[in-house]
Amino acid sequence: MLLGIGRRRQRVDSSRDSVHNYYEHMVIEQILRANERANDDSDFLADIACVALNHLPPKYVRHDVDMTFFLTPDEQEEMLDRVAKAVNNAVNYVLSREQEKKNWLKNEQAADAQNDQ
């Protein structure tokens, strides 16, 4: 049973900390392998991780080993492919948003300079 009736319960805080989305570790590892900048820029890493995770189905587990034990090799490969695709799309999205912001700031600065003349 989910609550483990009859077992000694741990403090709620420690149980809450043990539940996580299985994809989180996979996504972070893929980002760090796929993008050099993410190794030095924690904000960039976090932005990509959030975008990628929002495009993957949640898979909540207490222990990663539980998930890997029940997955077939084909399912594991499919998950890795999903993660790679989500991370690639997220990197492209975050980079495009950064470029849009740079262009907007450049246009604003040009407009301000023109107004100052």
pLDDT in tens, the chain (117 residues): 445 555 555 555 555 668 899 999 999 999 999 999 999 999 999 999 999 999 999 999 888 887 888 889 999 999 999 999 999 999 999 999 999 988 888 777 777 777 777
Range of the domain at 108: 12-116
Amino acid 14: pLDDT: 58
| pTM, entire model | 0.75
**Position 49, amino acid:** A
Give the number of domains in the chain: 1
**5 falls within a domain:** no
CA-nearest of 54, 53, 61 to 15 is 61
**92 falls within a domain:** yes
Amino acid 1: pLDDT: 43
How far is 49 from 97, CA to CA, in rounded Å?
15
**20 falls within a domain:** yes
Helices (H), 1-117: 12-18, 22-34, 42-53, 64-70, 73-116
